Amino acid sequence: MESNDTKKKSFSEIIKGETPVLVDFYADWCAPCKMMPPILKQLKSEMGDRLNIIKIDTERNPDVAIRYQVRGIPNLILFRKGEVLWQQAGVVQMPQLKQLIEQKLEQS
């Protein structure tokens, strides 16, 4: 899901880019989090290069989770140029997620 150049950049560099970034905050022990990968894979296939999607493990990156007030997981945050455009905790189904993202990108 991530390209090699995405892995070399820091989180703050990735979210400041021109391309919007959807971040999926998760933990391995979180059962609902396991529902997100197929949804995100489908979203990526539909949106292609218009959206980058990355996953952040809250157990390994607590500082990032705290900075963005991630209290419940899964937690999705949409960034563009470092700005939070949208944030929601819980599983979001693909059609609703795509619609929300496209709406937020049009508004910003």
Give catalytic residues, as residue numbers. 30, 33
Residues with Cβ < 8 Å from 44, sequence gap 6 or more? 1, 51, 53
CB neighbours of residue 104 within 10 Å: 15
Comparing CA positions, the residue from 107, 66, 71, 72 lying closest to residue 86 is 107
Comparing CA positions, the residue from 107, 99, 2 lying closest to residue 56 is 2
